[in-house]
Amino acid sequence: MGNGRIRPEDDGYRRRKRDEVRYNEEEYADEYTDEYENEEYEEPPVRRVRPRATQRIQQPSHYAQRAQRAYPSQERRSTRTTSSTRVARPRPRRRRSVWPVLLGGCALGIFFAVVAAAVVVFFTVRTAQTGGVPIIGGGLGASTQTFKSDATQPITLSSLAQMQICNKIGNVSVVVNPNADTANIQTTKIVRASSKASADSEFNRINVSVQQPPTGTQNVACASSTTSGTPTTTITPAPTTTEGTLLINTTIPDSNGLIHDTGDAVDIKITLTPKLLASAGAPLQLNIQAALGNVTVDGISGVLNIIGSSGNVNVTHATLISGSSIGTAQGNVTFNGIIAAPSDPTTQSNFVIRNETGTVDVTLPGTTNVVLSANTNVGTIHSDFPINATSSGGSASYRGPLNTSATTQSAAILTLDVSTGNISIHKAQS
């Protein structure tokens, strides 16, 4: 030991250490190259060690020392990666089909195309017929004016027992004139046109049929143009072979449906004489149906059946006989006259005055002896007679004797019925 010799056991120990260092360098060489191939650093100066004279021992290089550093194993890296929180990817929204939208658009396009074509055809036909451009709800355009054509026709009957008037658009007036010598029918055709020639052409398209026996050869029925809410009383056409029957029926073109020319109308005024009515020997049966227009009846005694759709009904100086019915769908109904109840108070008889939207105003003599049945769904009841109407929830009604001072109560029933509107009952001034 003292002379510098190396013991065999020391030499073996050094060989083992050298082999171990070489093994570690080879094991970490690939991993070190992958992890730190792009790393830049400054190599520290190598310290020179003077070997002993007996034997040079190779020390591990700086790179080998770096390779001996503890790097995280692949297992640890994979564990850290898998343990991290995963963010859920949003589910893609399902795309809606465009076919329903396309089909709906096509359907709407076809519908509007059909409507436009119908309007064009209507305007073309009306322009060819009248020479003007029609509009919906009245007249033939801004440049048109009103033209009238009057006509008077005498009533040749010696007596009048039944009269039927059917007028779709226009006013109807039936008046008994005590001072008149003859009875007649006055008609006024009303049109709107751009010129006199166009008006004359339109006058020819309007027909007023007047039939008086024995010249009449067929029944005349009113055009079936019922309106919702119109009283359900129907007009039965009278046979033309019966003496004392007057039938008047007007025909106005293009007056059906929603699109029509309300500039065309016919006003009818009938003047009667008392002698014409008295010669019949029976009460007059008067039937009037007016779809659009006012109805005025004055001085008539008989069974009155008046049906209005849109317009006022005014009956004055009249005597109603059992079976009479007066009404309208939209407008006011006014009656001033007598309710002719049967002389026998036990005889059943009925009188009806009704309205859907509007007022009912009735004026009766103070001695009228009937059972009053009055009802309004939305409105009030006012009466000069001592009745006690009940009101509930905006409606009012009464059923009982109209004249409580009558010694014997009559079985005749007067019905006043209104859907929306007020009922007023007045006592006539004596």
Query: pLDDT tens across 379-418, in order?
Result: 999 999 999 999 998 999 999 999 888 888 888 999 999 9
Dihedral sign from CA coordinates of 398, 399, 402, 403: negative
The pLDDT value recorded for residue 133 is: 41
Answer with the residue of higher pLDDT: 233 or 158. Answer: 158
Strand partners, 306: 288, 326
Cα 38 from Cα 62, distance rounded (Å): 17
Cα 13 from Cα 11, distance rounded (Å): 5
Report percent pLDDT > 70 for the chain: 63
Count the neighbouring beta carbons within 10 Å of the beta carbon of residue 159.
15
CB 372 within 8 A of CB 424: no
Phi-psi region of 137 (alpha: psi -120 to 50; beta: other; left: phi over 0): left
Residue type, 125: V
Per-residue burial over 109-135, b if 16 or more Cβ lie within 10 Å, else e, is: eeeeeeeeeeeeeeeeebeeebbbebb
Dump the DSSP string for 328-388. Answer: EEES-EEEEEEE---SSTTS-EEEEEEEEES-EEEEE-TT---EEEEEEEES-EEESSS--
CB 142 within 8 A of CB 198: no
Q: What pTM does this model have?
A: 0.63
**pLDDT higher than 90, residue 421:** yes
pLDDT tens by residue, 88-123:
566 666 666 667 777 778 888 888 888 887 776 665
Cα 414 from Cα 193, distance rounded (Å): 47
- SS (HEC) of 49-79: CCCCCCCCCCCCCHHHHHHCCCCCCHHHHHH
